[in-house]
Structure 1
Amino acid sequence: MRPISLELQYIGPYENETIDFKDINQTLFLISGKTGSGKSMIFDAITHALFATASTSLRGTESLRSQFAPSTEPSIIIFTFMYRGKTYKVERRLRYFRGTNTTETPPESSIYNEFGELIENGLTKVTSFITELLQLSATQFRQIGLLPQGEFRKFLVASSSDKEEILKALFRTERFNELYLKLKKDHDKDKQQIEMKHALIMNQFSQVLKEEEQSTSFKENLERFHTIQMDARKELQEAEESYQKTLESKDVLSKEIQSIKENNDRVETYFKEKDNLELLLQQKSVIDDKESKLSLSQKVHTIKDAYFNEKEYSNKVKDSKSRVNEMRLVLDEKTSEKKKNDSEFKDLLNKEPEINEYKVRAKHFSKYDTEEYRSIEQDIHNLLVKQESESKSLEIKKEELTGLEVSISKMNVTDEKLRKSEAELFSIKENLFTLQNELEIAKESEQNKREIDDLTETIHSLELEIEELSLTIEKQNQEVQSLNNLNVKSVNEMIAHLEAGKPCVVCQQTVAQIPDTIDFDEVLYSELESKQKSLDSLKIKLGILSEKDLKETRSSKDLETEILKAEKELAQRESQIASEARSLEEKQVLEVRLNELKSEVSAFAHGIDISKREVEFLEKRFSQFKEETNFDDFLHFKDALNIMEADIDTFLKNKKSLEDKRQTLTLELTKLESQLESAEFKLETERNILDENSQKVRVFLSKNSEVSVEDLETLIELDNDALKTEIETYKNKVAQVESLILHIKKDIEVFEVVDLTNKLSEERHLNESINIESKRLGQLESRLKSLDGLYKKIENEIETYKKEEHAFTELVKLVELLGGKQGTPTLSRFVLVYYLERILSQANIRLRKMTNGRYELRRRETYRSDQALHIDVFDYFNNARRSVATLSGGESFQAALALALALSEIIQHESGSIDMDMLLIDEGFGTLDEETLKVAIDTLFDLQKSGKMIGIISHVEELKTMIGNVLYVETLDERSRTKLVTPLSN
């Protein structure tokens, strides 16, 4: 993969920037600029274009959008690159929030081929396509094509467990762990299957052996099974011998019965065939007649062909005569028709000179037979009418224009005058607002005064009531004191014990009426207290009202009068402004119309001028038409041309029609003459054949007087073969029956039918015995077959079981080996160690060169999970191994660079499908002294000679003199621009 160009719009500090990489292909180049100028953003943009992520995992993609990007503009990255001879262009649009909306505008992604055709669309689809194309993930890309700032040192100093995760991701070693897990799964599955198979075999033994006979040993069970097989075989042999004896007895009896049956059948057949012979002999006279008829038919068959040919050719001669006569009539008609055609064709050829003259004239006239000349008179007329109409319209427009100019000049309203009136209106509104506020204050002040007067009057009234109530209370107090200081409570208790109509407990007099208790002073005190509270409340309210700071104002009545006056003035001024606004609007409308009229007047004048030139052109063309055609109008010209063309067309059609008809008639006559000749020849031939066959029939009849002409066809139609077969069949049948009777008579021992009832009964009993013994024999055979099959099956399954058990044992060893249970590392760790040692071996080639043979990276020699991937540095100067943490900054950078380059190369080598022709390195060179820096750059130059394009981001000034190609990143007003300087550009 090699970059071609990078376009950035609102990405980081880049507003609209394009970086062209074509001039620095297959070279080493430096990206130089101030801190924060956006050097690393170039790497971020490339990584985001490919994988929708930043160049380092520490930066999110949201950091790519420019801080100064307008909220309406998207951030866009367009990255064009070449991969294996093909060019691709990927476009990414970052997510952002449009305007002040909180709705997110989602990201967009597209990738195109070298012809600009869309390949994929959508964030995930584009990333998946690039990952599949490059055979790289974002993590692998950061190790192979791009070493981000601070991250390429990470692998050097990472812990063993962190290195394990990094290497797993880069080399996809999870597949080895998946292999182990698959083998482990197979191990568990096979173990279960082995156990199930063992149980199955034992279950099959249980079908034959009793539980107490079974052993855990397959061998012992097979021996006991074999003993049962031998017993079953012996029992079968004994049953077969018994069955054979019964079969022999039955065969002897069956033969005897069969002999008797055969003799009985011969006796019955003998008498039956004698009856058949009698019937056959009765049919002999009929057969003799058929033999006589067959003899005649055979004689007649000698002239069969002649007889039928005579009939056939008699009809044919008749048909041929009729056909010849018809053809002679048709030939005469066609001959007359051809003579007529020749005469018409000769008359037509006399008109050909006139038609040729028509053709010349029509060809000359055809150039005027166009739509232009067809409508030229109407077009001239229409243009003249249009000119007249437009001239009138122009005069009307001019008059309207003059009137508008006068009307506009009379309208003295202007924008400035209207704005001045509006300012005066605003002043009136402000004054009205001030008066309305003052009115509210005046009304509030007057209301306050009324409330104070009312409160003062109420307070005075309450004070009088309180004074009167106080005198009443004082008078009652004096009456109570006259009771010689008697306790009022005691008096009230005594009153409570009095009952009407009963004697008093003190004076013993009858109580006529119960007096009131002495509590009147408490009611008066309560009333006095209530009035006092009301008085205090009113005084407080009066104090509040009196303290209000109300300004001195005019009376509300005066203010209302002034407000009415101001509102009237406001209404008048608003009406005046509305009128002025309408007038101004009318003036503006008139001015717009004035401009439109000026444009229309100009357009009409221009149109009239064009119409005049068109009329002049058309009249010139029409004069030429009249001069060359001698016609004053197109209609007469067209009629004449149509007549000429119709005459020419009619002539040509008639000529072709007559020529075609003449040719057709000639062919038809030739064909008819040939057909007539053939028909006459055929008629003569058929007559000869008819005469020949008629003679044969007459000769036959004269020699065979017993046959008449009428009998011929009947005798011919007889089926002689069938008749002959019938006769022969009869004779053969008679001979067969006679022969069979003689043969049967010779073999008959006794001429009577013997009774077989007893012997057949005995045979049935023997058959039943055979069936019973046969079933038992079948059962024994089936059992023995089943035992043999089961024995063989168990033997085969035991053999398979042993093989699978052996394979399982090997699988157990393999699983334990790969799982690290035999003192070895796990497969996954072994592979990771293998890759790490390859990386270190490759890295040490460069590290020894960069450090003059002093340092070499080594893996710690252990397979412990926490240390297996730990890297130390071996110092040849001190002949000692030590931690990489003890390296200086420059030494650490050298080791990290060598390790990173090796890691990139090994990953590409392992993944043969990866083709990465670039390497981008971000920072790290600032810690090197001049000599070490030169060695590091020489290393990169050597790497670049293999065809890679290598880019470096660094602040180190010395690099500008070492590296000829420099991409400068310059900043102005928070925005960055790039400038490429190469040796050729100097």
Structure 2
Amino acid sequence: MRPLTLKLTNFGPFLDETIDFQQVNNDQLFLISGKTGSGKTMIFDAIVFALFGEASTKDRNEGDLRSHFADGKSPMVVEFEFKLRDSIYKINRQGAFVKEGNKNKTLGQLSIYQLEDTFELRESKVNAGNQFIRTLLGVNSEQFRQLFILPQGEFKRFLLSKSIEKQEILRTLFNSQRFEEIQKLLNDDVKEVRANIEKRYHTLETDWMDLETFDETLLNEYKEVSSRQTDKIKALIPQFKSIGQSIQNDLLAAEKRRIEKFEQAENLLNRNLKLQDAITSLEENKQKQEALLSNQSYIKNQIKLLNEINEVRPLSNLLDSKEKLLKKHKEIEKDKTKTITSVSNLQEQLEDCEKQLAKHKDLSETIDKSKTFIENCKIFYKKIDKYKKLYQQIENLKNTYAEFKSQYEKQKQQLNQYIEKLNDREPDYKRNEQLNEKIHQLDNEIKIKKQNELNKKEYQTLQKRQSDITTKNEHIKSEINTLDDKYKTIDKTNIDLNNKQDMIIKLQSVLSKGDKCPLCGNEIHEIEHHIDFDELTKRHDQLNNIEQQRLKLKEQKIKYDSELQHILEQLHKFNLDELEKINYTELELTKDNLLKEKRLIEEENKEIRNLKEKILSLRQKSHELELDLKTKQFKLDESTQMINDFENTTQYKDVNKFMTAYDKSLEKVNEYQKKYEWLVQQIQKYNNELSLEMNNKAHLEDTIKSLQKDIKEANHKIDHEMNRIGFTSLKDVEHTINEIPNKAKIEAEINKFNQEKQQFEIIINQLQAEINNQELRDISQLKKDFEQEKIQLDQAKSLLSQHNYKLEFNNKKIDNIYAVINHLEKELQEQQEVFQLAEVLSGKNEQKLTLENFVLIYYLERILAHANQRLSLMTGERYQLVRREQTSKGYSGLEIDVFDSHSNKKRHITSLSGGETFQASLALALGLSEVVQQESGGIALDSMFIDEGFGTLDQETLETALDTLLSLKSSGRMVGIISHVSELKQRIPLILEVQTEQYQSTTNFIKQ
């Protein structure tokens, strides 16, 4: 990711500022410089806020980023444009704030665009946008701080932090929580598996203890074996099966013997019971047969009567038919008499109705007039409520119309007055714009001259400071020259032997005259103390003092020269001609006059606008009133016309009187019509009834003739049938006929007698054949024997059933035991490695490391390896960062020590000096950045920003740190540094200067 532009609105000290990072070349290192509190770090905050909605450090909240001098109604907005690989993106993020005058907070907003010819919107919701950015960059805010922005104090904090603190940082950067989740899931699985295994052992123990021993001592002893001895249990189980099967066979044989004895007793008892029943039944049936044969004479008489009943039936039918014909003839005679009377009455009623109808028709002329009145006024009667309202509203309509007309005239008059007052004037906006432009120009000129005034004061201050430094520099030069002269006057003979006094004395003590010198090889002629080492030491100390004074003076001179160079650069920025242009009094007077003129024009424009608005409003109201007036006129005319139609048609001016007359006419017509229709209906009714009665009379006369003929024929047939059967009188016939209803009963008695007689004969023959002279035994003794055998059989079956249940129960339990043991053996074999793995990952290993801690140590060692490549260069191969090997339970093993090659020992990281700590922190931060980039995959690290830390370095170390950073920018990265160190301004050619003026800051790129 490479920044292109950063636009800040109400962000920290930047009220409206745009930073163009495109002025930085692809491989250029630049310095961000400015006074303390000018807002240098806020630039980093703005980048992180645009991307993640957070500050560049955890210590600051979003609310701390908003400018305290921002307009209460304006939001804090950051617009960040950057290039990622070959695409350009723009992010616009607005911070949440409480708008002035509101109680509730205005929520933040986020818009993300991608350049494709033009900027196309990609996301417009905060949560979705945040996720889009994290996916796009491939990092979260924590990782971004470590990769792109190294905030003030953040990377030093990582170096000095304890294991638990490093663990939090590293697990965020490398998402190592997933390893802890793996460990937790594995532990949960192991716990679950172990719990399941214990459940299976418990199930196995329950099944083992539930096995039935059949009261066998051997099996009871077997059950004392522990259920966890699965191999032994498997060996003993067949004994339970074989013993159970043997007992079952014995019980089956006993049951078979008891069944045979029971069946013998049952058969003997049944045969004697059957014989006893047959003897008893034979005696009973013989008695019943004798009683039946005593009624045989009565049955013969009934057979004779039945034959007579069968012969008399046709004659009985003829007598019944004759009786019916006589009865019908009598009834028809009565009906004929009634019909003659009804015809006479109908003729009289018909004649009376015809007379009434003729009289009623004489009133038709009067009724026709009433009908005409009703027909013409029907529509008014149906809408009578409407006409009542019209009579009530007509006066109100007239009054309302008059009021509206009066209002319309008044508004017309007022409108004409406003038009006359406006007098065709128009607002002079052009002149107002011209004045605004002139005032703006004057403001700029006044601002420039005021700035010139401030610049002149600053210029004079710089000149005074330049003069003071020049004077001090001349004084330092003079002192250095004096020291040089003094340095030259000191004798430097044998000065190099100052620190060799002990060696010379030692040589003198072992040498003698005539010996060869071990240094030059010549003969020694004398051994004397010809060198004054005290005087030599004094001269050496004098020279050292002079050298130290010269060094201090030179350092001071370098400092003054640097400051003087900086002052000269500052002085060159000023235009001396512009500094004299500081008189702005006349401009302010001109501005005041223009402002007065502007106020007058604005007041006149306001008056014209008000008049136009009033005219427009009155015209609109007049138009609306005119429309209302026409509406009222239309309603009034319509109502008047309807009232005239009503009065002309009905000839009534009073609605109530009209209603009374209409109701009376309607009632009169309805009564006439009702009576007329009733008379017509009555005449029609009497005519129909008379026709029916005449037809009925003729039909009855024909029926009487036919009945008389049928009665004569019936008498002839009856006489013939009596002669055939042999009846001499109707009395004998009637007696036989009276017995006809009892025919079925007589037949039933005869049939029953014959059936019972035949049945008794068959049963007696069968029973005699069944008994066949057999001997009957003692039934009570046979029953006792049967019951005894049955009890013994039930006992045998019960014992067998109980044993079968136990055997089946044992078989199920044995199957369960085999299944559980097999499952346990398989599960223990499969899960053994999982159990061992869970223990290792939980920290039960030689190193006492959990899986996550092991992974974090791996990442930390990689980070240290990358960091040491740079730290060795920065410290002249002296220092190496090493991980402390000591580990214990928990997140240990992440502390960092430093290895000092000079002492060949490790020491605590806090023993480093401030500059050395900065070097180690910078190297560690860069190493961390590289490892995170490698692990994240696809992250484009095209830029990096570093905040502070260089002030703790000496000149040589500073040079080394800069070389390290230059190696970064040579790899194509944009590297930005925040620092107050003046030497960096000499080394870094491009500076982003952050200038502050009271509460507002601005930025400017300066190339040196």
TM range (shorter): 0.3 to 0.5
TM-score by length of 1: 0.44
TM-score by length of 2: 0.43
